[in-house]
Each structure stands twice: as structure tokens, then as C-alpha cells.
Chains A and B, each alone.
Chain A
Amino acid sequence: MGKPIEITNENFEEVVLKSTDPVLVDFWAPWCGPCRMMGPIIDEIAEETPSIIVGKVNVDDEPELATKYDINSIPTLLLFKSGAVRNTLIGLHTKQDIINEIF
């Protein structure tokens, strides 16, 4: 699949809600240490898992999306299927933990 998609308020519906494939969304911010460490892991998942779409929401730029999905702590991963949140994983996790717990 390649790289994660930058998700914004504008493209959220198109990329996440209308997707027929599962979408993994990483809520992050540049000032957050654990988010910085999880970034490369999310990139790897995007690279290695073609069956899902991977997106990233910078909460600093897109606070409305963070509020809408009640994000209180970052990093938070949400797994969307058919436009609805199916799973949530809060905090820094290894790639294996993410794969085991969220999919």
C-alpha cells in the first residue's frame, strides 16, 4: 500500500467513512514523544499490510476530529470498518501488539 495518508477534516469522509477496506487511523501530534516513536511503526504497518488503509490525524491541525472521536490521550489508534469505530488502542505499542490487539 505504501505510506499512511494524511487525514484531514476535508478528506475524512472520503478516506475513512466511505472506505470499503478497514482503515487504521493514528491520532498523533509532533510534540508527543510516544507518538514520535510510534510513527515508524505505523509506516511499517502501512507498507506491510496492503489489505488495510492506514491514515494519520495530526490533532494539532485537526482538533475537530479528535473531539468528534473523543480522543483524550495520544497516541490513539482507531480501527474503522464500514464507517464505524470497531477497535481502539491507546498508548505506545509494538508492531506485534498492534497487529495482535487491533486487527
Chain B
Amino acid sequence: MARPVFIVDGSRTPFLKARSGPGPFTPVDLAVQCGRPLLARQPFAPDAFDQVILGCVNVIADEMNPARVAALRLGMGEDMVAFTVQINCGSGMQSIDTGYRYIREGHADLILAGGAEALSHAPLVWPNSGVRWFAGLATAKGVGAKIAAALKLRPRYLKPIIGLERGLTDPVTELNMGQTAEVVGHLFGITRAEADAYAAESHKRLANAQAQGWLKGEVETAFSRDGKFYDHDDGVRPDSTAESLAKLRPVFERPWGQVTAGNSSQITDGASWVILASDEAVAKHHLTPKAVIVDSNWAALDPSIMGLGPVMSATPLLTRNNLTIKDVETWELNEAFATQVLGCLAAWNDDKFCREILKLDGAAGEIDRDRLNVDGGAISLGHPVGTSGNRIVLHLVNAMKRLGTRRGVATECIGGGLGGAMLIEVV
């Protein structure tokens, strides 16, 4: 018998824009930074959890299974089961979804589910040809063989590949993520001006949320060992306007593309956690639930238009629960690219698309922009890929609490042609 699953609390680090070189924190450092204050404010001890699930895409070599490393570093006890999940940009939501299912089925009562990513730590990778050359050199026996092996070196063997660039390229279609956004924008007629206006609004909303103190309790200050502290999402540019963004050159498809650095999400480091609890755990530890997870859904589609993932995953989720997009009062739709967000909105308003692909009776309609990404999104905050799915659930809950709305959906597109969506209700 399915049990209700509550979100009782959560916190995240500030999202820190990757500038030059590796940032101050590794993925696990980030998970520890926001996990410590979150655990400190709970009325139960850190070892009271049943397990820890963490989404992380770019796991660094020093932190295999970052979930377990984070659990130990957070003092959650030697016997804390912890595992890492990876579904690219959906990883942080996958951790919540996995925890949700464990609790719903009665296999656990209290789970810490998060996402962590330090894109600034993405490694330089040697080309396979270079690795093969080095292996040949290392295993060659005798001086003659060594010299012969060494002489096979070609300059291109030593040309490093930026790991992140490969990670953001779809291996099947060979399109990078920005190009898939170009495709979606093109199919739904999104203009450069619309994309830039959307991006400027994202910055404006985040700056306003920061100024109003709406992120207090959600964003926890991170402290690095060199005596610096980080207390806000530092990618925000409140002075961005549609006009200023219009001056930027396209980055993915020059010279005629629509997608620029200004209307794309930023490359960023950050981590986020939410605490999931059964009603038994709520009663046992006297917790105050903030929201209940009603349902979740994953969908897959052509990788070259992965940006439509939210439409593909959220629509069946709503249908299954006898809801339409009009019934959703607050939306968090991850802002991978402005053209991609606008493409999703356009798809829901596209009669042919809704009939033939979503199997609706007609266009689902407009989503009121006042309901969508009310405090900005990945364009202004940044998009630490393994973290974003977690952040949008956490922020959806907090935003609904503030706005007094009841029903919300958090959804994201996922590189590789996937989408994930979660239906939340405030309690």
C-alpha cells in the first residue's frame, strides 16, 4: 500500500559560476557545505537517516560514489547506506524520485536526497590515441622497444580534450546541447529577441528574490578554507537587459544562431539536498512537512530535440492525475536555454504537436509567465547539471510556500533525450 512521502526540509549552496580554473569546492565539498547546516537544524541526529542518495554527473576521481563520501563526511555514521545516481541533467531529481519510491513502498522512512556538481572541476582528458601511446611506452620491455614505442608519439596525442565539452555533446547525434536548443527554437519559431528578453527577465527575478531575502533558509553560506565565504548565486547580472544581451554573438552555431552565452544557462558549481520522510518519520521526530510528492514521471525523446523533455514528461504526469497545465499554479522548468524553455511553452500551445505527440484533444494552452520560474532559473543561477533537478524541486516547495499556492510541477530537459517531472503539493 503506497504511503505518502513528504519533503520536510532542504538547502543548497549558492551556485558559483565557473570562472578560471577549478573552483574552491569539489562536488562532495559542496554537498558537505550545504548538508551541514541542514542537518544541524533537524531535531534528529544525522545518523537517523535510512540512506543517502546523491545525483552527480561529473564524479571526480578522488570521490568515487560521492554519496557515500558525503555521508561519511557529514558524520552520518559508518553504517549509512549511500549511493550515487546519474541521469545527466536529471540526476538531482532522480535522487529524490528514487528516495520517494523507497519510502512510498515502505522500504525506508527518512532519506537524504541531493545533487552535487562542480563543473569547474571537469578534467582535461587525453585523447584515446595518446592514452594508447602511453600504455605502449609503459609496457614496452627493453631499451630498444621503449625507444621504438616513444618514437610513435604524434603531437595530436597530447592535445587534451576539455572533458566538459564532450560531456555537453550528445554522443549519438553529435550535437552539443546548445545546438539542440537551436533546433528546438527553430522548430517553434523562437526569435533571438524573445530569447534575450526571457534571459533578462530571469536575471531580474533572481536579483529581486535575493534582494527580498526569499532565498534565506534555502541558500546556505559556503565557507572555504582560505577564509572566503560565498553567500549568494554569483552568476546573477541584474543589469542585463534584452538590449544588452542582444549584442552578444551566438556561441554554438555562428554566425546566424540564436543561442548565446547570455541566453543559455551558466556553467556553475553547486549542491542541493532535500529531506524526504514517511509519515512515521514525521511523527517520530516531530517534523513539519512542507510538501508531499504526489507523482513523478520520466520520458524519452529524440536526443536532437532533448529540450522538449519537460513537455514530454510533465504532460503524461498531469494526464495521469486528471490535471491540465492550467491546474498547475507554480512551475519550475529548468532553464537550460531560453529558446528551449520558450520552445516548450510553444509546444504546449501547438495544436498539431499536442494532438499527435501528447495525445491531447488540442493545444494544452499557455502557461502564465507569472507562474513559471518565479525567482529566476538556470540562466541567472547557473546549471550544475547533477544538482539542478534537486534545486528546482526544493525551490518549487519554498516558492509555493511563499506564494501560498498549492500545486506545482518541477521539470527538466535532460541531455541525451530525456525529460523528468515531479508533481508536488504543499501541505
Genuine A/B complex: no
Q: B interface vs A, CB < 8 Å?
A: none
